[in-house]
Amino acid sequence: MAKSSPLAVSKPSSSSGGVSAMVDCVRKQAAGWFADSETPLLAVILGSGLGGLADSIDVAAKIGFDQLPGMPVATALGHRGEFLLGRFAGVRVIAMAGRLHAYEGHDIHAISRGMALLASLSVDAVIISCAAGGLNSRYQTGDLVIIDEHIGLLHGQMGMAALCQQDTVRGAPSGLRCGRPTCDPEFADIVYQVCSAEGAAGRIHRGTYLAVSGPNYETRAECRMMKSWGADIVGMSTVPEVVLSSRAGLRTIAIGVVTNMAVPDAPMTASHEDVLAVSSRASERLQRIVGAIAASLSRYPLHHGQPQHVGNGFA
């Protein structure tokens, strides 16, 4: 696919700003792209090594994290740290290539700020991807896991009380979960259909994701503890994005790529380079899944509501 020339993006002033300032910055620097308001808008968050999808987007504008007021830069290996605005599979796409983590020294507000921006841009749906260690002994390296439940232990604390206290979503009741589902059933069916068509139905699962601060990989004793809690995969991200997206009322699906097995009775040495390699191979299947979900959006025209104004303690 031929790529259009990305728009030139200027740097903002060094002053910090809220999510609303970030929205204004994005809309100003990609005004022509936002003029098309009839085509569905899909948000995609790309985790470690899963940036291959970004190369398939017909990019209209690139905006680095450092070009947005108050947005920290990404320092983790395999995370580009930029937003890509363009088209993919017949819909408009805004992809967050890379994310921020607790182990980089960020608090919960900074970690979730990218998702707050996406929600405030009136996206119609959100696909979240991540690399994860497999705790469930039935899983294999390279498998995909639809995250239909999660356990949040970022910063060593169950839940996200600080985010819950300050985050404000217009029309949403208090509390991040609010009884809303965090996995869209139609999107989950599409994931199964894609994998089944490729003869890989046995490589897709539904499971519980455990978010920890990292950056170290798990000890054998920690793996046993995590499994006893009911976790199927473990990683260092994703949960803040899932709960914010769900609370904003957006159709959401999160998919984890099993990049290494964290099985205490069959210990294996994991490295970040190995994680990136497995993620890169899995990104081709993830790309086809994103394409299928995008096609489902384009088949059924959606009503574009007002921005969700996810403040996240900044606006």
- What are the extents of the domains in the chain? 19-299
Residue keyed to tokens 């589902």: 181
> Is 218 known as a binding-site position?
yes
pLDDT at 164 over 60: no
pTM of this structure: 0.84
> Is 131 known as a binding-site position?
yes
- Percentages helix, strand, coil for the chain (3-state, rounded to 5) are 35, 25, 45
pLDDT at 2 over 70: no
What pLDDT, on a 0 to 100 scale, did the predictor assign at position 12? Answer: 40
> Is 149 known as a binding-site position?
no
Q: Which of 69-73, 229-233, 303-307 has the lowest mean pLDDT?
A: 303-307
Q: Which tokens belong to 297?
A: 């959006």
CA max distance for the chain: 55
- Who's near 247: CB < 8 A, 6+ residues apart? 167, 169, 172, 176, 177, 178, 180, 310
pLDDT at 180 over 90: no
pLDDT at 88 over 80: yes
Report percent pLDDT > 70 for the chain.
76
User: Cα–Cα distances in Å, from 127 out to 81, 146, 215, 223, 286?
Assistant: 17, 11, 24, 27, 10
Residues in the chain: 315
DSSP E strand boundaries for 78-162: 82-88, 91-97, 125-134, 144-153
> Is 271 known as a binding-site position?
no
> Is 5 known as a binding-site position?
no
pLDDT tens-digit profile of 194-225?
Answer: 999 999 888 999 999 999 988 887 888 999 99
Mean pLDDT of 222-249: 92
What pLDDT, on a 0 to 100 scale, did the predictor assign at position 313? Answer: 42
> Is 99 known as a binding-site position?
yes
> Do 232 and 208 contact (CB within 8 A), yes or no?
yes
Residue (of 149, 141, 114) closest to 19 by Cα position: 114
- Who's near 202: CB < 8 A, 6+ residues apart? none
Greatest mean pLDDT among 30-34, 36-40, 204-208: 204-208
Greatest mean pLDDT among 97-101, 150-154, 162-166, 194-198: 194-198
pLDDT at 155 over 50: yes
pLDDT at 265 over 90: no
Mean pLDDT of 238-244: 90
> Is 246 known as a binding-site position?
no
pLDDT at 108 over 70: yes
**pLDDT: is 101 or 197 the higher one?**
197
> Is 281 known as a binding-site position?
no
pLDDT at 178 over 60: no
Mean pLDDT (the chain) is 80
Q: Which tokens belong to 198?
A: 């490729």
What pLDDT, on a 0 to 100 scale, did the predictor assign at position 271? Answer: 65
> Is 299 known as a binding-site position?
no
Predicted confidence band at 301 (pLDDT cuts at 50, 70, 90)?
A: low
pLDDT at 161 over 90: no
CATH architecture of 19-299: 3-Layer(aba) Sandwich (3.40)
What pLDDT, on a 0 to 100 scale, did the predictor assign at position 15? Answer: 38
Helical spans, DSSP H, in 72-155: 108-111, 113-120
